[in-house]
A and B are shown apart, each in its own frame.
Chain A
Amino acid sequence: MALANQMPNFMFVYFSELQGVSVVDSDNKPQGVLYDIIIEPLGKYARSRTLIVEAGGFRKSWAPVDWSGISEITKGLIRLNLAASDLKFSRSVNNRSDLSLRQDILDQQVVDTNNQNVIRVNDIQFLQAKQDLVVAHVDIGMRGIVRRLGFEKFIDPLVRIFNKNSEYLNKPSFIPWKHIQPLSINPVSKTIKVDVSQNQLREIPAADLSEIMQDLAPQDRLALFKVLDLHTKSQLFATLDFKEQKSLLEDLSEKEAVEILNNIPKDEAADFLGELPEGTVNKILGLMESKSAKMLSKLLGYSEESAGGLMTTEYIAVPDTATIEQALKIVREKTLKAETIQNIFIVDKENHLVGSTMLRRLIIANPPDEVIKAALKKTVKIHVEDDVKRIALLMDKYKMNALPVVDASDILLGIITMDDIFSRLVAIAWRRAKRKIQL
């Protein structure tokens, strides 16, 4: 008895060890076996809330039992403090909007938000304190599979003979529950069941999220996409290739689709629309905000490899009549939308490019002065018809991260930033390298 007192009052137990354990009622009569557990996410952990008992041989039925109805839970037996009549058996497992271990976690794919990849759950580990079960880890390792198959008794000693220090025995592949984002889809909202209190998804950069999504089935991908905020959605959309973008937009409602197109940088939107048939483009433009649509239809008119096709219309321009102070105010207002705030362009009433300046220069200049005083000595500009090579040469020569694009009469149409050019250059270089390899 003394020994029993020294036992720690909590221990680890696997879901696979509890599945199929027989359940007895308050009169010690067997009522069935443990089939499933419904959990309730609570911050970093998830607590077991409902037990699902399975009964019957050929015609099976299931009954939910609230956790307060359990008086003892071990690997050998589960004892309820309920009478047999308190168990409501029915022919269907009805827990569709809850988080069920069997339907939503075990054997399913989930996102590990820490390592940012998609994993398959082989087993679930609980921390047990008396009859309370708290989900602590999910097991994604080989040992989890072996345990589920019931081969642990043979495989473990075998491995021990060959290599006592093997990773299999000593390094369990556990992922803490707090990093797990289930992918199960809520049948009503068609989005994934997220735990709002610890929205880990938000922490993952869009580029990584996009890689995670590559590993998912289209339905899961869509459900995951829908729970993201508009900003992340737009960023993520921009990382996809055309085929994926098209497939995604087809699955979204018109409203959602247009919302995203309104929100991504104009040059990206134009790239996407440029691939679509004309009829579809006109339809989409008709649905978009009129200002965005107007710019887009202009961008769409230029060849894809020319400055016009590459430029974006999200730049900061200030009138040549403004003072430094007024110019800084405009910069502040437009900061959120603009592709870059380092380069600021000075235009006249007809939008002719008069000069260009840098944010740095504005900040150190005298606020009441005219803005033109802060302008760079030479206004480097690109013509809409210029090609990638020329733009790259100019950027390199003048060490500028963004250059203005003008038409024949010097009217400012947009800007081209280094990252737009860079991705094109990489593509060209890559094509060349590939050709060399093939030779």
Chain B
Amino acid sequence: MLNTKTKSILKKIQIFISVMGPGIITANVDNDAGGITTYSMAGAHFGYALLWSFIPIIFVLIVIQEMASRMAVVTGKGLADLIREEMGVKVTFYAMVVLILANIGNVMAEFAGIAASADLFGINRPVLIVLSALFVWWLVVKGNYKSVEKVFLVACIFYVSYIISGFITRPDWSEVARETVRPTLQLDKVYLVMLIGLIGTTIAPWMQFYQQASVVEKGIKLKDYAYHRLDVIIGAFIVNIVAFFIVVVCASTLFKHGVMVETAKDAALALKPLAGDYCYMLFAFGLFNASLFAASILPLSTAYSVCEGMGWELGVNKHFREAPQFYSLYTGIIILGAVFILIPNISLVKIMFFSQVANGLLLPFVLILMLRLVNNKRLMGEFVNSRVYNMVAWLTVVLMIALSLALLFFIWVPG
């Protein structure tokens, strides 16, 4: 016989498992090609100097993701839906233009990741790109995404290799700890770009749209919300722990030997202490999975948000004639992302990195919209933001704008 206490704990675990998903999946998609590249570069080029940023990033990520989830649970509507209903066509239109541009950049980064892993696997680049593009398109349009999602998620176990490497490479843990808690800000162009990229890749604008949509789709109810919040928090920790270890490993291998990440091959070297000469294969596998996972989600999530906001028919269960805008957007984003990467001799690492910087630059605008919605009493009732939440979120907006302006300043005023 189970006593009532274990019974109620079991019941709670059961509820948690039933609402679990959106937070953890979003988190794993977040560690995409752009993410892996940016974290690798941050470690390889700056050593431990950027580790401190993960503490504020994890806070802000939880706050923002929680806002999106709360809006989803309370209103039952997607982010684009709410922007349209509360702020009208104009704001929606420009927000959607921003989202499309940012996500074309992100999809390019995913295909760049696929191209880079093709190089490492020793496969012909265009072949793998075209095959992947077709696969992604087919996967979603034929409605098979859900069954493949689990494969992607399981393959995310790859990130554990960074955590193991983190211990094998024997970094100076006391230095790591010191750099993690001591914020250092270097006022130069390269450092600022890296910081914005780091924030942009971890707290990307698309994530808020995607997270809110998946919570709505999951139909999580207000009474189970506390459990879902745990899902968000676990997700945020997964992203940041993986990112943290990528930086530490790259710092204690690449940075120590002065290797700059210019190709995926350089980034793969960070896994050499763990995998020896197989490090290229291991890295290629992880990068390929991450890229394909995100490439399956980003174009679809973009097309959904845009059609939802503009009031166009949407959904993969509709025919092209019923939902022309939806399919054009979805297909167009995949084609644009893939075709661009087919250009010979293009620098894949640069694409993966600068798309994330673009995410960082655009983040404050999405945040402002979210803050205005989540504080709307008519929509959210008693579930508007608390003061602490608003402070954290607005501070993020101000800091991101300040960082962007500082970056502009350093670009225009050389030296």
Stretch of B44-52, B81-89, B124-132 contacting A (4+ beta carbons < 8 Å)? B81-89
Q: How far is the CA of A122 from the CA of B88 in the complex (A)?
A: 9
Q: Does A218 contact B (CB under 8 A)?
A: yes
Flag whether B183 is at the interface (Cβ < 8 A).
Answer: no
Q: What are 17 A-to-B residue pairs whose CB atoms are below 8 Å?
A: A103-B378, A106-B88, A107-B85, A107-B88, A109-B311, A120-B310, A122-B89, A140-B311, A145-B89, A145-B310, A148-B90, A149-B93, A217-B77, A217-B216, A219-B75, A247-B219, A250-B221
Q: Among A96, A140, A148, A217, point to the contact of B76 (Cβ < 8 A).
A: A217
Chain A residues 98-156 with CB under 8 Å of chain B are: 103, 106-109, 119-122, 140, 145, 148-150
Chain A residues proximal to chain B, CB less than 8 Å: 96, 103, 106-109, 119-122, 140, 145, 148-150, 217-220, 247, 250-251
List the A residue with the shortest CB-CB distance to B312: A120
Provided the pairs A217-B76, A217-B77, A220-B76 are in contact, do residues A145 and B93 lie with their beta carbons within 8 angstroms? yes
Cα distance A218–B84 in the bound complex, in angstroms: 18
- Complex alpha-carbon distance, A225 and B276, angstroms: 63
Q: Are B76 and A219 in contact (CB under 8 A)?
A: yes
Complex interface: chain B residues within 8 A of A103 (CB): 378
- Residues in B with CB closer than 8 Å to A109 are 311
Give residues 105-135 of B contacting A (CB, 8 Å): none
Q: Tell me the smallest distance from the CB of B244 to a CB of chain A, in Å.
A: 37
Task: Please determine whether B89 and A218 come into contact, CB atoms closer than 8 angstroms.
Answer: no
Complex formed: what's the CA distance from A218 to B77 in Å? 8
Q: A355 to chain B: closest CB distance in Å?
A: 49
Q: For the complex, what is the distance from the CA of A218 to the CA of B216, rounded to whole Å?
A: 9
Interface of A: prevailing SS? mixed
A420 to B378, CA, bound (A): 45
In Å, the complex CA distance between A107 and B378 comes to 16
Question: Residue on A with the closest CB to B88?
Answer: A107
Residue-wise, chain B 246-283 has the 8 Å CB interface mask toward A (1 for contact) of 00000000000000000000000000000000000000
A212–B311 Cα gap in the complex (Å)? Answer: 15
- Give the interface residue-count category, chain B: 10 to 19
A218 and B93 contacting across the interface, CB-CB below 8 Å: no
Cβ distance A171 to chain B, nearest Cβ, rounded Å: 16
Check A120/B216 contact, CB under 8 A, given A140-B311, A217-B77, A219-B76: no
How many Å lie between the Cα of A219 and that of B76 in the bound state? 7
Chain A residue numbers with a CB within 8 Å of B88 are: 106-107, 148
Q: How far is the CA of A145 from the CA of B90 in the complex (A)?
A: 9
Interface-central residue, A108, A148, A217, A251, by most chain B CB under 10 Å: A217
Rounded to whole Å, the gap between the CB of A218 and the closest CB of chain B is 4
**B203-237 CB contact bits vs A (8 Å, 1 = yes)?**
00000000000001001010000000000000000
Measured CA separation A164–B317 after assembly (Å) = 33
Known A217-B77, A220-B76, A250-B221; contact A122-B311, beta-carbon cutoff 8 A:
yes
Q: Are B219 and A218 in contact (CB under 8 A)?
A: yes
What is the CB-to-nearest-CB distance from A148 to chain B, in angstroms, rounded to a whole number? 4
Cα(A106)–Cα(B77), bound, Å: 17
**Residues on the A chain within 8 Å of B85, using CB:** 107-108
**B-chain residues with CB within 8 Å of residue A106 when the two chains form the complex:** 88
Chain A residues near B311 (CB-CB < 8 A)? 109, 119-122, 140
Contacts of A220 in B (CB 8 A): 76
7 closest cross-chain pairs (CB), A and B: A120-B311, A217-B76, A218-B76, A148-B89, A217-B77, A219-B76, A107-B85
Within 8 Å CB of A219, what residues of B? 75-76
For the complex, what is the distance from the CA of A251 to the CA of B378, rounded to whole Å? Answer: 20
Closest Cβ of chain A to B332, distance in Å, is: 17
A120-B311, A217-B216, A220-B76 known; 6 other A-B pairs, CB under 8 Å? A107-B88, A107-B89, A120-B84, A145-B89, A149-B93, A218-B219
Q: Which of B76, B81, B89 contacts A149 (CB 8 A)?
A: B89
Distance of A319 Cα from B216 Cα, bound (Å): 54
Q: How many angstroms from the CA of A287 to the CA of B221 in the assembled complex?
A: 24
How many Å from the CB of B28 to the closest CB on chain A?
Answer: 25
Q: State in angstroms the CA–CA spacing of A121 and B88 once bound together.
A: 11
Q: Which residues in A have their C-beta under 8 angstroms from that of B93?
A: 145, 149
* Nearest CB of chain B from residue A48's CB, rounded to whole Å: 20
Chain A positions within 8 Å of B221 at CB level? 247, 250-251
Closest chain A residue to B78, Cβ basis: A217
Bound: A121/B77 CA distance, A: 17
Q: Which residues of chain B come closer than 8 Å to A150, judged between CB atoms?
A: 90
Which of A106, A109, A122 has the most C-beta atoms of chain B within 10 angstroms of its own C-beta? A109
CA distance A175 to B85 in the complex (A): 19
Contacts of A247 in B (CB 8 A): 219, 221
* CB closest chain-B residue, reference A93: B378
A109–B85 Cα distance when bound, in Å, is: 8
Separation of A218 and B221 alpha carbons in the complex (Å): 10
Q: How far is the CA of A109 from the CA of B75 in the complex (A)?
A: 14
Which A residues are in CB contact (< 8 Å) with B216? Answer: 217
Q: How far is the CA of A345 from the CA of B44 in the complex (A)?
A: 84
Contacts of B378 in A (CB 8 A): 96, 103
Residues of chain A within 8 A of B77, CB atoms compared: 217
A109 to B81, CA, bound (A): 9
The closest CB in chain A to the CB of B309 belongs to A120
In the complex, chain B residues whose CB is within 8 Å of the CB of A251: 221
Alpha-carbon gap, A215 to B388, bound state (A): 35
**Nearest CB of A to B337, in Å:** 26
Alpha-carbon gap, A150 to B89, bound state (A): 11
Which residue from chain B places its CB closest to the CB of A251 in the assembled complex? B221
- Minimum Cβ distance to chain B for residue A60 (Å): 14
Q: List B contacts of A149 (CB < 8 A).
A: 89-90, 93
* Chain B nearest CB, measured from A104 CB (Å): 10
Smallest distance from the beta carbon of A23 to chain B beta carbons, Å?
Answer: 20
A117 to chain B, nearest CB (A): 9
Q: Are B84 and A107 in contact (CB under 8 A)?
A: yes
Considering the complex, give the chain A residue whose CB is closest to the CB of B74. A219
Query: Bound complex: CA of A122 vs CA of B219, how far in Å?
Result: 28
> In chain B between 377 and 411, which residues have their CB closer than 8 angstroms to a CB of chain A?
378
Nearest opposing residue in chain B for A119, CB measure: B311
The docked-state distance in angstroms from the alpha carbon of A148 to that of B311 is 14
* B299-325 interface code vs A (CB 8 A; 1 in, 0 out): 000000000001100000000000000
Chain B residues whose C-beta falls within 8 Å of the C-beta of A218 in the assembled complex:
76, 219
Contacts of A120 in B (CB 8 A): 84, 310-311
